Amino acid sequence: MNHIAFPFATLPRTAIVDTTPVPPLQDADRKPLTKKEVSADHPTWCPGCGDFSVLALYFKLIERRRMHHEKITTVAGIGCSSRFPYFVQAHGAHFIHGRALPFASGVSLSRPDLHVFVFGGDGDAFSIGGNHFTHTARKNVKLTYVVMDNQVYGLTKNQTSPTSPLGYKSKTDAWGSGDRPINPVKQAIAAGATFVARTSHTNPNHVLEMMEKAMDHDGFAFIQCLSECVEFFPGAFDGANPRKGGKFETVPSTHDVTDEYAAYRLADQDWPGHFGVFYQAQRPTKNQNEAKIIADHQAKVPGLESWQILQKNFDRMK
């Protein structure tokens, strides 16, 4: 992993709003990166961990969408799943626990030429990072957020997470959890996310399809990806795995993804529920709103560089 400081360092000092056309994310003239060229250290996950398949599919996405090193930005918080950026040979950051989204928002707002991918766990997203999840969704910051939900804290060796089912026995709930788990899809819709999907690591084609759709969405795209922790919660998702006697039912073709209430009702069904895109809407992104505010203000003081406008503001505050 290269440290994230590099993409920021490439920003011209005066370019608060860069009006030059944004170069395309994909470069059709260059050879796609192979898995070998984009994989870094050997992943340190336990053998059989669901996170391996999510990483492999991210590499596939990079290859399919012809992204190159300078355009790949992978951000995460802390957790087993959040080790993700270490294993990607490109720009990225393994940031503070629960704070991946604010960091990623800054990258997204300042570098419109990149697509920011954020990966992390259910604890990182909904426990310590719960507020950031809600507010990043509400603000509709353009990025793709894949939560690798194993319904447990894996890295810290088996504590109850906000998605652990009732009765789950862990180090923090020796007699079984008595707290009702959250429903990540319902929570994302209610918070204002403009793309909300659900998938499972056991269905690679489906994971890739959801990642591609999320990446093409202009706004905050959230994917709940079931990813089994074979060490502390083995078998958690057998009910959603046809190879283990479960069922993987996709979102019905009749479902209207623009209907927020229909999406909410669909997400409210009993385990294992459905898999696919529940909700998608076009709303102005924070990226667009902020760019406009800045451009409007710059137009009022023609001829001044961005840093000179900032300096004037500081001078006024003296």
Ligand X SMILES: Cc1ncc(C[n+]2csc(CCOP(=O)(O)OP(=O)(O)O)c2C)c(N)n1
CB burial of 238-255 (b: ≥16 within 10 Å; e: otherwise) equals eebbeeeebebeebeeeb
Q: x/- site string to Mg ion, residues 123 to 152, per CB under 5 A?
A: ---------------------------x--
Residue 228 interacting with Mg ion (CB under 5 A): no
Number of residues located near ligand SF4, criterion CB under 6 A: 12
* Closest separation in Å from C-beta 131 to ligand X: 13
Q: Which of 17, 56, 230, 294 binds ligand SF4 (CB under 6 A)?
A: 230
Q: Are 263 and 184 in contact (CB under 8 A)?
A: no
Helix (H, G, I), strand (E, B) or coil at 103: helix
Who contacts 272 (Cβ-Cβ below 8 Å, separation ≥6)?
A: 237, 239, 240, 246, 247, 248, 249
Runs of H (alpha helix) within 140-285:
184-191, 204-216, 260-267
Q: Which of 97, 135, 186, 255 binds ligand X (CB under 6 A)?
A: 97
Residue 155 interacting with ligand X (CB under 6 A): yes
Name residue, tokens 């479902």: 255
Residue 189 interacting with ligand X (CB under 6 A): no
Which CB sits closer to ligand SF4, 92 or 154?
A: 154
* Closest separation in Å from C-beta 59 to ligand X: 19
* Cα–Cα distance, 242 to 249 (Å, whole number): 10
Of 20-28, 103-111, 137-145, 228-236, the segment contacting ligand SF4 by CB under 6 A is 228-236
* Cα–Cα distance, 251 to 207 (Å, whole number): 14
Of 77-85, 208-216, 262-270, 308-316, the segment contacting ligand X by CB under 6 A is 77-85
Helices 204-216 and 51-64 meet at what angle, rounded to 10?
Answer: 50
Residue 87 interacting with ligand X (CB under 6 A): no
Residue 231 interacting with ligand SF4 (CB under 6 A): yes
Q: Which of 62, 75, 80, 104 binds ligand X (CB under 6 A)?
A: 80
Q: How many CB atoms lie within 10 A of CB 286?
A: 18
**Of 62, 103, 211, the residue nearest 147 (C-alpha):** 211
Q: Are 150 and 50 in contact (CB under 8 A)?
A: yes
Q: Which of 85, 92, 121, 184 binds ligand X (CB under 6 A)?
A: 121
The residues in 140-169 that bind ligand SF4, with binding defined as CB under 6 A, are: 150, 154-155
Tell me 219's DSSP state. S
| Ramachandran quadrant class, 176 (left: phi over 0; alpha: psi -120 to 50; beta: rest) | left
Task: State both tokens at 297.
Answer: 């203000």
Residue 79 interacting with ligand X (CB under 6 A): yes
Of 105-113, 118-126, 168-176, 303-311, the segment contacting ligand X by CB under 6 A is 118-126
* Closest separation in Å from C-beta 170 to ligand SF4: 13
Q: How many CA atoms are closer than 13 Å to the CA of 11, on its beta-carbon side?
A: 21
The residues in 37-56 that bind ligand SF4, with binding defined as CB under 6 A, are: 45-46, 49, 51
Q: Which of 89, 108, 150, 160 binds ligand X (CB under 6 A)?
A: 150
| Ramachandran quadrant class, 143 (left: phi over 0; alpha: psi -120 to 50; beta: rest) | beta
Which CB sits closer to ligand X, 228 or 267?
A: 228
H/E segment holding residue 268: none
Residue 122 interacting with Mg ion (CB under 5 A): yes
**Footprint of ligand SF4 on this chain (CB under 6 A)?**
45-46, 49, 51, 80, 150, 154-155, 229-232
**Footprint of ligand X on this chain (CB under 6 A)?**
78-81, 97, 120-124, 128, 150, 152-156, 161
**Footprint of Mg ion on this chain (CB under 5 A)?**
121-122, 150
